[in-house]
Amino acid sequence: MNRQDQISLLKRLLNYVDTRTTAMAARPWRNEVSVYTDPERLADQGRRIEAINARYAGDGIPFRVLRSIEMDVFIDGSCDMDDDALAGLDLVLGAFHSKLRVTEDSTERYVAALRNPAVHVLAHPKARMYGRRVGLEADWPQVFAEAATLGKAVELDGTPYRQDLNVEMATIARKAGADS
């Protein structure tokens, strides 16, 4: 498919969907389960996204790719990318990628992550994987109320192996006023 065909296809697609943005979320360089990125690669990705957005704008396509990352958030709420690397991003997802099989209440861990000023979205909040791990436990109404108070969103990860948040938890999040 040549570039003109791609542009035509994207324009037609935008007539059918109610979105004008998407995010390209890199993964943090310390995350052992994903393709690594570091601040330099993240900046390079940002330059490439800016070029894509400029092309879309030049071609009259009302669509924008957001510069973003899904970064690790540690138990204390700190993250694995420095503030300078995060400063130019449009969207930062904070996710737990370690200590995912603990059985004690993780409410404070979630509250600490939400209070991190760099985090815009709490990614796959329960950290469950269907058939592999049940996910973390927390006082979910409290976690989602904190997200609502801070203006943070929670991700609805609908991939079949995650289903995180499930319908019950999404309902709790919505009642607490958290965006998803």
pTM score of the predicted model: 0.78
Q: What is the chain's mean pLDDT, rounded?
A: 80
Q: What is the pLDDT of residue 99?
A: 80
* Amino acid type, 9: L
Q: What is the pLDDT of residue 64?
A: 83
Longest dimension (CA), the chain: 54
Q: Convert the pLDDT of each residue in 48-101 to its tens digit.
A: 889 988 988 998 887 888 888 888 888 887 888 888 888 889 999 998 877 877
* Amino acid type, 125: P
Q: What is the pLDDT of residue 107?
A: 92
Q: What is the pLDDT of residue 33?
A: 44
* CB 83, CB 117: distance < 8 Å: no
In 3D space, the residue among 151, 156, 150, 153 whose CA is nearest the CA of residue 170 turns out to be: 156
Domain boundaries, the chain: 1-69, 99-180
For residue 35, is pLDDT > 60?
A: no
For residue 158, is pLDDT > 90?
A: no
Structure tokens at 174: 């919505």
Q: Convert the pLDDT of each residue in 114-149 to its tens digit.
A: 999 999 999 888 887 778 888 888 999 999 999 999
Nearest-angstrom CA–CA distance, 115 and 131: 31
